[in-house]
Amino acid sequence: MNPGVQGAFPVTIIGVGNMGAAMAQRLCALGWSPSVHDLVPQKVQDLLPFGAVARADVAQAASKSVATILAVVNVAQVREVLFGAHGIAPQLPPGHVLLLCPTLGPQDVEDIAHTLAQQGVDVVDAPMSGGPARAREGRMSLMVAGPAQALERVRPLLEALANPVFRIGTRAGDGARTKLVNNLLAGINLVGAAEALALAHWLGLDQGTTLDVIERSSGQSWIGVDRMRRALAGDLAPRAHMTLLHKDTGLALDAAAAAGFSGPLGASTHAVFAAALQAGLADLDDAALLGFLQGT
């Protein structure tokens, strides 16, 4: 037997954009054949050659799965999928495990987990990091929090999707809290990298050479090097839309305010992303920050 199939069980993925599609491809490569659903039918069709399965009734597909992965964009979409006019929540049976993979506010995760727990459905708070390429290879990271029995029930799925899998704890929302801390730093690092390379431009330096130095020196950050390489190549096709870190840094600031904390960099970083959106860069990759900050 293919070792990837060992421990496999029925899984539904709702939302097969960049990350959802990458997770579906990863599971297909390991023989899982997940059911997939998206509001854009072509995204579903693109996954069928890999071995994914399209289901006409997504709620029924989820109800027959051991676990459902929500890989939509924000809490509004999560709530619509679960509790909207055609929401799947009423059909989820006791013992079902729902994995919440978007970056959400901790209170939203707690509220959703509390609501679903009343019908015996376990929520695993499972925000992800690493991008589509790593997700396709099973090398993204997952920050999971939820009931111990639910985490054990879906352990083969978690291990198929991610390496590493960080077990944050059992409190709903702690995965989200951890992801927001990470993404606030990612946003700070990205804005810093873009500002530094913009300065290199204005100083008359070769930006590629400067980035080579940064990559091997104390200024290195993964997101900074990854995005600035793309920016210098003129590749702004969205792998991570500018809107995402704008949303996530805002959620991090909300969480900080709720905890009574205020730092010196978060608000200014969020303001840079807000200005980039105001300048019309919402549909571009966040690598577009370089051109935005250097004024080209």
Q: Is residue 140 part of a domain?
A: yes
pLDDT at 1 over 50: no
Looking at the domain assignment, is residue 5 inside a domain? Answer: no
Q: What is the pLDDT of residue 6?
A: 66
- With bands split at pLDDT 50, 70 and 90, how would you rate the model's confidence at 100? very high
Of 170, 205, 238, the residue that ends a domain is 170
C-alpha distances (whole Å) from 191 to each of 180, 198, 202, 205, 229 are: 16, 10, 16, 19, 14
Average pLDDT, the chain: 95
pTM over 0.75: yes
- Asked if 37 and 87 sit in the same domain, the reply is yes
User: Is there a single domain that holds both residue 59 and residue 147?
Assistant: yes
Nearest 5°: CA angle at 211, between 209 and 214? 115
22 plus 163 within the same structural domain: yes
What is the mean pLDDT of the segment spanning 14-38? 96
Would residue 64 show up in a list of annotated catalytic residues for this protein? no
Please tell me whether residues 164 and 202 are part of one structural domain.
Answer: no
pLDDT digits (tens, 9 = 90+) for 170-221: 999 999 999 999 999 999 999 999 999 999 999 999 999 999 999 999 999 9
What is the domain count for the chain? Answer: 2
Catalytic choice (43, 64, 179, 247): 179
Range of the domain at 287: 177-294
Checking if the pLDDT of 52 tops 90, the result is yes
152/18 same-domain check: yes
Q: Is residue 55 part of a domain?
A: yes
**What CATH code is carried by the domain that includes residue 79?**
3.40.50.720
**Per residue in 247-278, pLDDT tens?**
999 999 999 999 999 999 999 999 999 999 99
Shared domain for 152 and 207, answered yes or no, is no
* Closest to 131 in 3D by CA, of 140, 118, 144: 140
pLDDT tens profile 127-156: 999 889 999 999 999 999 999 999 999 999
pLDDT band at 239 (very low <50, low <70, confident <90, very high): confident
Is residue 2 pLDDT above 60, yes or no? no
Indicate the residue among 147, 170, 193 that finishes a domain.
170
106 and 247 in a single domain? The answer is no
Last residue of a domain, one of 170, 204, 232: 170
